[in-house]
Amino acid sequence: MSQPRQPGVPYPRLPLPETQEDLAAFQQWLGEAIPMVGALGLQRMTQGTAQEGGALTWQLALSPNLNDKGTGFGGALTAQTTLQGWCWVTLWLRAHGRAQDVVVAEARQRFLAPVTGNYRIICAPSDPQGPAQLAEKLNARGKGSIALTQQLYCGDTLCLEASGRYAVLPVA
């Protein structure tokens, strides 16, 4: 059993993958590194190939994210989309052999319909050239940022659109 997290103490990084990322191991590490992850109802994550745009998809349970009306709580949904963007960038960096910190620089949400059942969130670059542009910035300056878009679906209904810019910090 791991020690409880302490404020001001960074959590140890997960070693970079030697081949393909083990998303189950990453999800377990994520829950230890960021304690609130355990309360978000994240059931499973999958990631498409770079040729498919590298979309990161999360399957989530509604029950831990209910509001007083019996639908998805906006604050929880916002936290999930923001965290998922952070994960997308972190996984992208790991796939490129880079151990750098990621921070959220900007985030926006637009709520379109109530979330009434279990749901999925899909995160992908806002611009198909975003990953290549990020790689160029990292190679030239050691830092950069990328814009991502998240879409939350309950069944076939698009309930939330979110977008954010995530900054990759230079190695300290």
**pLDDT tens, 88-133?**
999 999 999 999 999 999 999 999 999 999 999 999 999 999 999 9
- Segment among 46-55, 74-83, 94-103 with least mean pLDDT: 46-55
- Residue 63 burial class via C-beta count within 10 angstroms: exposed 0-12, middle 13-18, buried 19 and up: exposed
pLDDT above 90: residue 19: no
> What is the distance between the alpha carbons of residues 48 and 50, in angstroms, rounded to a whole number?
7
The fraction of the chain above a pLDDT of 70, given in percent, is 96
DSSP 116-145: -S-EEEEEEESSTTHHHHHHHHHHHHS-EE
The one-letter amino acid at 128: P
Q: Residue 160: how many CA atoms within 13 Å on its side-chain side?
A: 27
Query: Which of residues 48 and 45 earns the better pLDDT score?
Result: 45
In this prediction, residues 9-30 reach a mean pLDDT of 92
In order of their start, the domains of the chain are 43-168 (3.10.129.10)
Average pLDDT of the chain? 94
